[in-house]
Structure 1
Amino acid sequence: MLSSLAHRLKGRSAGEIVRLIGHNIVYHARELSPEARRRNRKFRAFDEQWGTDTFEMRELHTLTVDPALAAHARRYQASNGGNMSSWFADLNVDFTRTAFIDYGCGKGRAVLEAARFPFARVIGVEFAPELVDIALRNREIMAARGALAAPVEFLCMDAARYRPPVDLDLVCFFYDPFDDTVMAPVAERLTALAQPVSVIYLEPHCIGQFRKSGHWAEGISVDNLVLRNPAALGR
């Protein structure tokens, strides 16, 4: 445990260490709550139903990743896709003309949940090869059982370099995947897009990267932050 902590703190500034410690204190306190225990039971039920591997957490030091990128990333923890039907209804998503993108998709839980809706494309972007390999296996398991209604692709790359499709409307999903260093170019690229773009942002610690442009309208769906660009508002 101590070696793991030393690995995660190596090379970080004093301010980054304080923020990381605070983030972990909040995380562990929240995980002890009755709500978190109920959520975790649901997460395990998903894997039990489909035979997938999405629940177990992975710390960054257990993955073969570029340390320079890992310094700005979060551990893998499965996200809750149970509210997707409400999110998509609130955003008035036209599935046949929309791509769903999960930035920092990890083992692909949110991607697989989204792919049960008839999106034109469902895309997971993840920088850790081991997690992408697990996500691909999960995709094959669910595809073999006829559980996926949309084509699914996983891209192993730095999210800051990813260029989303410009020929489809976009629903972009973030579950606190990385810090401001990575979110800044991601938000800038999404802000520059002309087509309708909606963002679902859970635990929005880097929301300032979107707010500084003055481009996004903010709302709430099932207690989660959603953002829409002018084109999405005008549909």
Structure 2
Amino acid sequence: MINDHDPIRVLLVDDHELVRYGFRVILELAEGIEVVGEAGNGEEAVQRARALTPDVICMDVQMPVKDGLAATRELVADPTVGAAVLILTTFDRDDYLFQALAAGASGFLLKNASPENLVEAVRVIAAGEALLSPAVTRRVISGFVPPQQPRPSSGSTDQRPVPTPALTEREAEVLQLVAQGMSNAEIAAALVVGEATVKTHVSNVLAKLQLRDRIQAVIYAYEHRLVTPGT
């Protein structure tokens, strides 16, 4: 776990040296972020991640030797690594998005994003949250949730969530808001509670439902009809 006073350790993975240089400059200008290493392909990424123990890996998709998706699957499956993976690509393609999330990535960002977006993405991922905007959430759901799944007849957005087995009513409510693409800060504002309280609820939800991260929580919520597309 990252201590609040420790810098976020980042590993940059891209087969273009100029791209890595640009990311390094952006991130090292940000307070509390340290770039600890670089890799030019997925195979190097796996080796460097095991040696350097970064908190966040900024991972390109298309690379020689081993691509970013294969490297992500290997790193996420390795219990000795523990880093969160942020996929960075020039391609705004749903197949990359779905494959990256299925591989275990915690976020997906296009390389044409602003420097501020990159810094914020690294911080969000390092804090244990998934980088899911409402727009990306809808694309995730359309890719993972079967379209033929029956949906409740009532589409009221103010309907209280139905508690799932093992979850309290408040935890189910938090899960519903996570599934709508809200950050912890946004959930805290909506429920008029502290952000630390929300983090505790999210952690409890993931632990009780045996889910890896917020992305899996989003999928779970739609599959179990705690929310439906469009809410």
> Is the shorter-chain TM-score for this pair beyond 0.5, marking a shared fold?
no
Q: Going by fraction, where is strand more abundant, 1 or 2?
A: 1
Provide the TM-score with structure 2 as the length reference: 0.34
